[in-house]
């Protein structure tokens, strides 16, 4: 209980964060319609600026396991017991029950997701996923798998009547995925999903 009280003191509430739209207005100023005004060539963007979506997206740099949201996304291995990086931090702060539940859960293959309780974490659930290894020879397969990591996480959220999720960077350096390309896949997947599921 003492450990949980200590963790709760570090909790980051979603309401305490600025939305992407608020950050944009603070950085570039607001136009007459309330939208963002700035030096970016918005006409050249693949996706038009959507203030409605931007009001529901938060960019935050910090420890994911501190967020009080319905679910957080954890990038892990097939057995969901990876003790390195983010996954290791999540396991360390969630307590041993998370590892026990992961052990009893069906293995998670690349591009898939499995959901467990979050135990001692502020979040309600942890959605586990396994990101792909990058190999130039199999670029298309890696892109597809990374896309499905994010899409399946969002689908899992929706299917379980949850509404907020803290997404992590699924591609890890040790799996060799180029950061910029991976970021485009993540952003594109989330944007398209939010357009299709206005919630």
Percentage of the chain modeled with pLDDT above 70:
86
What's residue 37's pLDDT? Answer: 47
The closest alpha carbon to 178, from 112, 110, 132, belongs to 132
Gap between the Cα atoms of 175 and 133, Å rounded: 5
Enumerate domains of the chain plus CATH numbers.
2-54 (no CATH), 64-196 (3.40.220.10)
pLDDT in tens, 109-141: 999 999 999 999 999 999 999 999 999 999 999
Gap between the Cα atoms of 96 and 21, Å rounded: 38
> Mean of the pLDDT values across residues 7-29?
84
Q: Say if residues 122 and 161 touch (Cβ distance below 8 Å).
A: no
29 — pLDDT class (breaks 50, 70, 90) = low
Least confident of 3-7, 75-79, 107-111: 3-7
pTM of the full structure: 0.86
What's residue 39's pLDDT? Answer: 46
For the ranges 6-20, 42-56, 110-124, 167-181, the maximum mean pLDDT occurs at 110-124
Quote the mean pLDDT of the chain.
89
Strand ranges for the chain from DSSP E: 12-13, 67-68, 71-75, 113-117, 125-129, 165-166
Q: Please list, residue by residue across 69-94, b when 16 or more beta carbons sit within 10 angstroms of its beta carbon and e when fewer do.
A: bbbbbbbbbeebebeeebbebbbebb
40 — pLDDT class (breaks 50, 70, 90) = very low
CA dist list (Å): 196 to 65, 91, 121, 129:
28, 33, 30, 22
């Amino acid at each position: 209980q003492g450990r949980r009280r200590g963790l709760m003191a570090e909790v980051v509430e979603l309401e305490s964060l600025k939305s992407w739209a608020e950050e944009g207005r603070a950085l570039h100023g607001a136009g007459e319609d309330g939208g963002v005004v700035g030096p970016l060539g918005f006409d050249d963007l693949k996706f038009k600026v959507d203030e409605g979506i931007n009001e529901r997206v938060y960019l935050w740099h910090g420890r994911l396991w501190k967020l009080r949201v319905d679910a957080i996304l954890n990038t892990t291995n097939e057995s969901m017991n990876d003790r390195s990086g983010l996954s290791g931090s999540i396991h360390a702060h969630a307590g041993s029950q998370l590892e026990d539940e992961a052990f009893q859960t069906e293995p998670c293959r690349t591009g898939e997701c499995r959901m467990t309780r979050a135990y001692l974490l502020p979040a309600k659930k942890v959605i586990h996923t396994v990101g792909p290894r990058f190999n130039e020879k199999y670029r298309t397969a890696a892109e597809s798998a990374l896309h499905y990591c994010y899409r399946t996480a969002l689908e899992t959220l929706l299917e379980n009547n949850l509404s907020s999720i803290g997404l992590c960077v699924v591609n890890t350096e040790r799996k060799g995925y180029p950061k910029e390309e991976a970021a485009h896949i993540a952003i594109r997947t989330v944007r398209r999903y939010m357009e299709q599921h206005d919630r």
